[in-house]
């Protein structure tokens, strides 16, 4: 098997140059999908017969929650790769994923609370799903804190990788919480194995928003990682050449 | 599927039968946060480039006298 690509991935410069062309494309596609999806969800999807218009929050609440979890996978897996293979790029991805994931978790919690007020009549309940999402937010914040707590970047990376791996136990709890403890949060609407409990006219904009959030997440992660690369390699010739070429 | 605007007026769209404040607050907050996440790396990159440019100018300025002063 040819492992050359894997070794190349260890080179931040190679990654930076390889992804140059991706950024504008990802930006254009993901931002237009976000705009179209939001307009569709806000104005064109029918109102819910039980919840009325408040359900329109679903079009950001669900994608934000998906990406809060996906971001955690990215962070924990790249943390593990950095820990095992000492790959610099993986450490940078882990560091970049934390603030994006934290923001999306925060958005999932806030939009859920704002949705809860007109729907359940309360902002906040110590329901299993909501509590485990709050734990997820603290895990993200913990990784961010560890990243700035150490003088040596290597120590910081090791500590945050271990924390994010230990925090993985929270992930199945989040998924299963709505089935194990049926309290307030409704069970999953989208299912892979059986028919979804949502009408197509509401489902399509939701799927569109989920794709849009995934792509926007990829864009943000890429932009952050690329900036991180420049920052860590700022003493090298190629970054200084880049600065000279950029003279405005 | 035929797509139809679900509201009779812009005011109705804004109020969403009483749910407007909740819905719009969520969308507003989300897009503000996403916008800030988008701008953060661009700002950091610009700051870094300015810092490096300054260092390069200093290095250029000091270059001619460097061989002597280095000794």
ipTM (interface pTM): 0.88
Min Cα–Cα distance to chain A from B24, Å: 9
Place of tokens 């979890």: A69
Select from A227, A228, A233, A235 the residue whose CB has the most chain B CBs within 10 Å, as the one to mutate to test that interface: A227
Chain A environment of B17 (Cβ under 8 Å):
47, 52-53
Task: Decide if B23 and A54 are in contact by the 8 Å CB cutoff.
Answer: yes
The distance of A52 to chain B (nearest Cα, Å) reads: 8
- State the Cα–Cα distance between residues B53 and A101, nearest whole angstrom: 32
From the list A43, A103, A216, the residue facing B7 with the nearest CB is A43
Q: What is the maximum span of chain B, computed from C-alpha positions, in angstroms?
A: 81
B68 CA to chain A: closest CA distance, Å?
24
**pLDDT (tens digit, 0 to 9) for every residue of chain A, 248 residues total?**
567 666 666 788 999 999 999 999 999 999 999 999 999 999 888 888 778 888 899 999 999 999 999 999 999 999 999 999 888 999 999 999 999 999 999 999 999 999 988 888 888 888 888 899 999 999 999 999 999 999 899 999 999 999 999 999 999 888 888 777 766 677 777 665 666 677 888 889 999 999 999 999 999 999 999 999 999 999 999 999 999 888 65
Q: What is the pLDDT of residues A137-195, one digit of tens each?
A: 999 999 999 999 998 999 999 999 999 999 999 998 888 887 777 666 777 776 656 66
Closest CA to B10 of A120, A91, A43, A214: A43
pTM here?
A: 0.90
Alpha-carbon span A181 to A118, nearest angstrom: 23
Are B26 and A200 within 8 A, CB to CB?
no
């Amino acid at each position: 098997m040819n492992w050359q690509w894997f070794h190349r991935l260890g080179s931040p410069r190679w990654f930076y140059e390889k992804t140059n062309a991706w950024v504008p494309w990802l930006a254009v596609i993901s931002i237009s999908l976000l705009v179209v999806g939001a307009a569709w969800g806000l104005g064109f999807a029918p109102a819910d017969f039980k919840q009325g218009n408040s359900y329109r929050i679903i079009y950001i609440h669900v994608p934000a929650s998906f990406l809060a979890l996906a971001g955690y996978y990215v962070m924990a897996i790249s943390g593990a790769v950095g820990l095992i293979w000492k790959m610099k790029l993986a450490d940078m991805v882990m560091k970049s994923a934390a603030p994006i994931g934290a923001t999306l978790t925060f958005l999932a919690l806030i939009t859920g609370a704002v949705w809860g007020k007109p729907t359940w009549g309360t902002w906040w309940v110590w329901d299993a799903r909501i509590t485990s999402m709050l734990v997820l937010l603290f895990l993200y914040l913990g990784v961010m804190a560890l990243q700035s707590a150490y003088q040596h970047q290597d120590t910081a990376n090791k500590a945050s990788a271990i924390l994010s791996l230990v925090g993985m136990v929270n992930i199945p709890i989040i998924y299963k919480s709505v089935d194990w403890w049926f309290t307030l949060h409704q069970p999953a609407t989208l299912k892979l194995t059986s028919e979804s409990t949502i009408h197509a006219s509401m489902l399509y904009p939701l799927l569109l928003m989920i794709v849009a959030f995934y792509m926007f997440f990829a864009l943000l992660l890429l932009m952050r990682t690329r900036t991180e690369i420049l920052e860590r390699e700022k003493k090298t010739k190629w970054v200084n050449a880049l600065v000279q070429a950029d003279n405005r | 599927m035929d797509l139809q605007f679900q509201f009779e007026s812009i005011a109705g769209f804004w109020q969403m039968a009483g749910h407007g404040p909740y819905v719009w607050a969520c969308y507003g907050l989300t897009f503000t946060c996403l916008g800030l996440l988008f701008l953060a790396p661009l700002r950091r990159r610009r700051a870094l480039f300015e810092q490096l440019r300054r260092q390069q100018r200093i290095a250029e300025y000091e270059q001619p006298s460097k061989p002597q002063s280095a000794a």
